[in-house]
Amino acid sequence: MTTTPPEARAQIVSMVRDFVRREVEPVAAEHDRDDTVPHDLIDRMKELGLFGITVPEEYGGMGLDYTTFATIFEELSKGFMTLSGAIGTHHILTYVLSHYGTKEQKEKFLPDLASGRKRGGLALTEPSGGTDMANLQTTATKDGEEYSINGSKMFITNGRYGDMFCLLARTDPDMKPKHKGLSCFVVEKGGDGFTVGRDLDKLGYRGLDTCELNFDNFAVPQENLIGLEEGAGFGMVMSGLETGRINVAARAVGVAQAAFDAAIKYSQQRETFGKPIADHQAIQLKLADMATKIQAARLLVYDAATKKDTGQRVDLESGMAKLFASEVCLEVAMESMRVHGGYGYIKESPVERYYRDAPLMIIGEGTNEVMRLVIAKQLLRLPEYQL
């Protein structure tokens, strides 16, 4: 069980909040408009230790709990949700290594990842399908002391500027059920057969490299097989995705809170019929619903994070948090735009960006349709009244 003392958490959150206010907010609109990667801000995040939030201290990380982890993602996303993406799937790689890697693998990879000297990512989704991971097509064929990787991965965050990736590939094409034939590798850039494809032009989530990765007989040493265990990759990635869903849900809460803050501020400044629109009951009803739903989403996020800190399986709780928080985020972004009227629809308003960013959380780390199936599956396994 990992618990960060409240005083330490408050200090860290205050540090991140100050960073967002002073350095991120003034340039967020520019990076979003131009779709430019904010390398200077990412370097500052390295200095602040944000690439090693949950990495054990013995490997150079901060060793923080998932409640603090979620709070950091929420604060970053209030300023520029894209920025949280630079450390999102990076932390799935560090999670998988921390929990399933051998001692040698942890010592080799984690210090560089925790410091940000190396950026990580997750090579999971494929062009032929994202949700049906058990049927992924990328293969890893044993060839002496190496594995030969063949296939393509799609929608890979940190794809161009990342240095290593947690890659799920098929090592046994004949294994039944199919997910037991999947293994997890650390693949490092460099060498023949590993190419970064096109950059993807996205609706929102701009200012972050999202690319295709292509593998053509790319050689990976056998010591990069995580845990040195074939056939265990599916479970490793599924466990890592629990943390991914917590961070996506926390991002959704952050964006929703930013949209709400903009709405309540504007409603107190904008006047119609001789008084601020905040005095109109129609606007008050919107503000009340927005605030209530954001707080409900936040509580779901921190419930999942708290249970993760105790070492419990949280696919149910993280799925609920991700589902509800992301839907609330899109709803609040739209309601904030309605409060702003025409001013919320123009590019100079951050509300327009919040509305474009919100769908990412509905799709990312498993679509919400899949989340509903995950939730239902776990509910049907529970004894009565166990929630």
Contact 171, 324 (CB under 8 A): no
Residues 6 or more apart in contact with residue 345 via CB below 8 angstroms: 337, 352
Confirm if 238 and 315 have CB atoms less than 8 A apart: yes
Respond yes or no: is residue 369 known to be catalytic. Answer: no
Task: Please give the Cα distance from 291 to 373 (Å, whole number).
Answer: 28
Q: Which tokens sit at 171?
A: 């090592």
3-class DSSP state for residue 281?
Answer: helix
- Rounded CA gap, 63 and 152, in Å? 33
Q: Is 161 exposed, middle or buried (0-12, 13-18, 19+ CB in 10 A)?
A: middle
- The enclosing H or E element of 178 equals none
Contacts of the segment 160-163: beta carbons below 8 A, 24+ positions apart: 160/196, 160/199, 160/209, 160/211, 161/37, 161/39, 161/119, 161/209, 162/90, 162/119, 162/120, 162/121, 162/189, 162/209, 163/118, 163/119, 163/120, 163/188, 163/189
Residue 153 zone, left/alpha/beta (φ > 0; ψ -120 to 50; rest): beta
Q: What residues form DSSP beta bridges with 219?
A: 148
Q: How far is CA 22 from the centre of its chain?
A: 23
Please report which residue ranges of 205-280 form alpha helices under DSSP H: 233-269
Structure tokens at 86: 């630079």
Q: Using omega within 30 degrees of 0 as the cis cutoff, is the peptide bond preceding 350 cis?
A: no
Catalytic residue among 242, 365, 369, 384: 365
Cβ atoms 77, 118 nearer than 8 A = no
Any idea which residues carry the catalytic annotation?
A: 365
